[in-house]
Amino acid sequence: MKTIKWLMGVVAVVILTGCGTATQVPITGRKQRLVVSDEQVMSLSNQEYQNYMKSAKISTNATNTAMVKRVGQRLANAVVSYLNSHGLSNEVSNYKWEFNLVQNNQVNAFCMPGGKIVVYEGILPVTQDEASLAIVLGHEIAHAVAKHSAERISNDYKQQAGLQILGGVASAAGMGPNTANVVSSIIGVGTKAWTSGFSRSQESEADHIGLIFAAMAGYDPQTALAFWQRMAAAGNSSNSIFSDHPSDEKRIKQIQGWIPEAKKYYKKQ
């Protein structure tokens, strides 16, 4: 019921304001218009994260777990420092950082809005070292900082605005048989909704921002090239969280173009 009330509130915002709130993505400066607030996104994503963690199996490998927490915290510290130094201190309160390594053979990792980071054990044989893990986590944290989930939800709302959405809300509010389908189709409830389905432009933007975050945290951005070459050789980039991203060849070419920029932020620790 809380989800339905939240949905109806957002629909009202869409109808009354039309264009939403203008924001700007850190690092790239790209402009966005969002019709959902940080509080709304954080509330829903935190619920889904808690649900996910109830069923996840935490890794029993103490060494790898410590590595994930160490790398994640270095990145988090770099992100917070960047936000504070660029007049975005109000954004810092949105993040309650948490880092977990889970038992799963998929080549996967994700960062929920709000800074909840999960790494699957299956990606570690490909990352091989901390610097490459930082490239992966930088990419995922970038999705959160750039508010890509909120942007995707906002775009879905705008595409389904007016009577189509109101009809769905009415059905959902009546708690009829279509409730789950309506809610799922409009707001994409579920962990996958927060960790996949980004557009290719958003994926490229996360590569760009994530590379710079890794450099800020003291990881050599040049590492990204070898990592993505390993992913390409193993055939994992089309079989993982990155499957919606541009091709391996295009990604590597883009990263090569961003490395000079990232190097400006890099200070070896």
**Active-site residue list:** 140
* DSSP for residue 264: T
Hey, what amino acid is at 26? P
CA atoms of 80 and 25, how far apart (whole Å): 15
Rounded to the nearest 10 degrees, the angle between the axes of helix 163-173 and helix 179-187 is 140
Token look-up 């590492």 returns 223
Residue 230 CA to residue 251 CA, distance in Å, equals: 13
Contact 64, 101 (CB under 8 A): yes
Measure the CA–CA gap between 69 and 75, rounded to whole angstroms: 10
End-to-end Cα distance, the chain: 49
| Block residue for tokens 């933007």 | 205
Which DSSP state fits 35? S
Backbone angles phi, psi at 20, to 5 degrees: 80, -165
